[in-house]
Amino acid sequence: MAGKLVFSFALVLLAASAATARRAHANDFVNSYYSRQKVMESCLGRQYVRDENTKISAAREACRALPPRALIGTPNVPGDFNYEHTDDHLLEKPYFTQEMVRYLSERMMAKTSNATCVLRQLGYMDENDHILYENIVSNINALSVNDAELKADLIAGVNDCKAMAECLPLTKIAYPLTAALMRWSTWSKCKVSMVYQSCIKKDLRANAQEFELQGLGNFLSDYSDSAKMYAVVWARTVLDQGSDFLW
């Protein structure tokens, strides 16, 4: 019984810390989302960003209109603990009961099913859950931005992230996601980073007069000037932070 009470207390502490973390995460999310939107608007154009957000909203609405996956029952998920009275026979019951595990499984399947639906609506994934890289590249080529180097960088990013996502050992993943969604998640996170890098390089090209790249000598001689400028900015950031970036 003592062990069960300790477990219950630990769950309460976990819930409290999770609530605090959620508030901090919410603030970080708002700040990062706003910053991301501004970077995208400056780099790719405000109208493009608005059009993309509209497409995503429409895809989500289309998926919500589809018949939802029926959930198998609704378990009694534990809520707040009552410290004034606790029945011994309740303490002996496993916290993650069969009903709760089934409920969590069904919720997760519904969530992943909705995610794949949205990706199909956007034309980013086919019916076999394969990422349609050619559609993504076509969207980049169709950008109204008159910057060939930016488009080339974005396409290179798509291909680099594809190479990383396609080599994942998905038979060994320990997450409740399909292999396709795990691959998409990895590719998407990589792509966001590569888009930022491409946009930063675009901005650096516009401010090339601030860099005297002769100081590099033969270092990075195979790189383009924009890649060299990006490397210089990256090095300055790492050295200013004093972080051990290799581990």
What is the pLDDT, as a whole number, of residue 66?
82
**What's the rounded Cα separation, in Å, for the pair 89 and 211?**
72
Inform me whether the pLDDT recorded for 173 exceeds 70.
no
Confidence of residue 76 (pLDDT cuts 50, 70, 90): very low
**What's the rounded Cα separation, in Å, for the pair 185 and 246?**
24
Inform me whether the pLDDT recorded for 115 exceeds 50.
yes
Angle at 16 between CA 12 and CA 19, to 5 degrees: 140
**For helices 133-141 and 148-166, angle between their N-to-C axes, nearest 10 degrees:** 170
Q: Name, of 81-90, 120-129, 175-184, the range with top average pLDDT.
A: 120-129
What is the pLDDT, as a whole number, of residue 68?
62
What is the pLDDT, as a whole number, of residue 209?
92
Domain parsing of the chain, residue ranges:
2-15+37-206, 209-247
What is the pLDDT, as a whole number, of residue 24?
55
Confidence of residue 178 (pLDDT cuts 50, 70, 90): confident
Place of tokens 């000037």: 225
Q: What share of the chain is helix, strand, coil (3-state, %, to 5)?
A: 70, 0, 30
Confidence of residue 60 (pLDDT cuts 50, 70, 90): very high
| Across 28-33, average pLDDT | 62
Inform me whether the pLDDT recorded for 59 exceeds 90.
yes
Q: By percentage, how much of the chain surpasses pLDDT 70?
A: 72
**What's the rounded Cα separation, in Å, for the pair 103 and 72?**
7
What is the pLDDT, as a whole number, of residue 246?
56
What is the pLDDT, as a whole number, of residue 86?
52
Q: Kindly report which listed range (72-86, 101-115, 174-188, 204-218) carries the lowest average pLDDT score.
A: 72-86
| Across 96-110, average pLDDT | 84
What is the pLDDT, as a whole number, of residue 87?
54
What is the pLDDT, as a whole number, of residue 138?
95
Q: How far apart are the first and last CA of the chain?
A: 43
Do the beta carbons of residue 119 and residue 125 sit within 8 Å? yes
State whether residue 131 is helix, strand or coil: strand
